[in-house]
Amino acid sequence: MKIGLIGLENAGKQSLFDLLTGLKEHTSHSESHNIGVVSVPDERVDFIYNAYKPAKKVYAHIEFYKLPSVTKKSEETKKALLSAKEVDIIALVIRSFKNENVYHPLENIDVNRDFSVLIDELILADLYITETRLERLALQLKSKKDEFLLKEHNLILNLKEHLEKNELLNQIQFSESEQKILRGYNFLTLKPIFVIVNCDEEDLSKEFSFQSNIKSINICVKTELQLVDLEEKERKEYLKLLGIDEPGIIRLIKFAYSCGNLITFFTVNEKEARCWAIKKGTTALKAAGTIHSDFEKGFIRAEVIHFDDFKKAGSESAARKQGLYRLEGKDYIVQDGDIIKFRFNV
């Protein structure tokens, strides 16, 4: 899953990216320094690993992309919007923290205004796509009346009308045939969008509300930078004072994962205990293909036990004695927390 961090200048995007990609053993960097691969902490795979003792454990991961800053009608904004087309999810980084030594490009702190500025840029980029495509479709329909082209024309026209009302495309329910048409496009507001509010420490519990009920999470980047330098014991004490269980940066990673509508299933063998990230609603057949195309091609059955049942049993042998394992077919909808062994033949 690729998440693009986009925001105005001095919203704390660079510091946030550095924090995300500086999580010691949980990260790796790309050569571009604008992409960081971050593992998603999951206590369940830790338990599975300890139960089986394979050679290693592998977490699911997220790629964070640090996109150029947005400034109205600038080349940087064009670059940011172009880069945003490459990601799966857009995270709007918005400044709420106060610091007179750090200037704000729009002169003062206003979370909702900054949100509107960023959303407007995404909507304008999508409007440009609709207008350009409608012009081409109109010319094509003049030369020949094609049912598919007419359906595409009507759909894009409908999207344009929504965008002109300042509505995000990810709020619209599309039919299966419409979804097929939209696969050929790369609308920004069709992607999942969430907000990261970079706030002061005293505002961590403050609730912010945004258009279309877009989800948000509060992070005090200044505090997170301080936590990094603390010993584990001191860090726990500091978090306790703040009234939270884990660092905000860990909460953010888990939050981002959930915003992608992702769930996790697990596999385990003598080599590794591994997390696999798939979209909610994925069938066992498609989940098998996530591991290897041969698993999907030669799929026979999936042997499944849910993590909660496995944990209660304590081991595979105990779980088998209790009859907790079951066989599922290719149409089984994989659930978050399933531990699966795929039976296949190629």
pLDDT of amino acid 72: 65
Residue span of the structural domain in which 299 resides: 281-344
Q: pLDDT tens digits, the chain, 346 residues: what are they?
A: 899 999 999 999 999 999 888 754 445 544 456 898 988 889 999 999 999 999 999 999 999 999 988 876 677 788 888 889 999 999 999 999 999 999 999 989 999 999 999 999 999 999 999 999 999 999 999 888 888 999 999 999 999 999 999 999 999 999 999 999 998 899 999 999 999 999 999 999 899 999 888 999 999 999 998 888 888 888 888 888 888 888 888 899 899 988 988 999 999 999 999 999 999 999 999 999 999 999 999 999 999 999 999 999 999 999 999 999 999 999 999 999 999 999 999 7
Residue 219 within any structural domain of the chain:
no
pLDDT of residue 75: 79
Decide: 138 and 130 in contact? Cβ < 8 Å. no
For residue 120, tell me if it sits in a domain.
Answer: no
Stated pTM of the model: 0.86
Amino acid at 337: G
Give the pLDDT score at 33: 66
Residue 204 and residue 220 in contact, taking contact as beta carbons nearer than 8 Å:
yes
Residue 6 within any structural domain of the chain: no
Angle at 191 between CA 190 and CA 193, to 5 degrees: 115
Tokens for 27? Answer: 């990260």
In a domain, 239, yes or no: no
How far apart are alpha carbons 322 and 328 in whole angstroms?
A: 18
The count of structural domains within the chain is: 1
Quick one: pLDDT at residue 30? 47
**Can you tell me whether residue 263 is helix, strand or coil?**
strand
Helix/strand/coil (H/E/C) assignment for every residue in 299-314: EEEEEEEEHHHHHHHC
- What are the residues whose beta carbons fall under 8 Å from the beta carbon of 146, sequence distance 6 or more? 140
Residue 85, in any domain of the structure: no
Q: Per DSSP, what are the bridge partners of residue 66?
A: 5
What CATH number does residue 300 fall under?
3.10.20.30
Give domain status of residue 294, yes or no: yes
Instruction: Give the sign of the dihedral formed by CA 118, CA 123, CA 125, CA 128.
Output: negative
For residues 19 and 224, the answer to whether their CB atoms sit within 8 Å is: yes
Q: Is residue 292 part of a domain?
A: yes
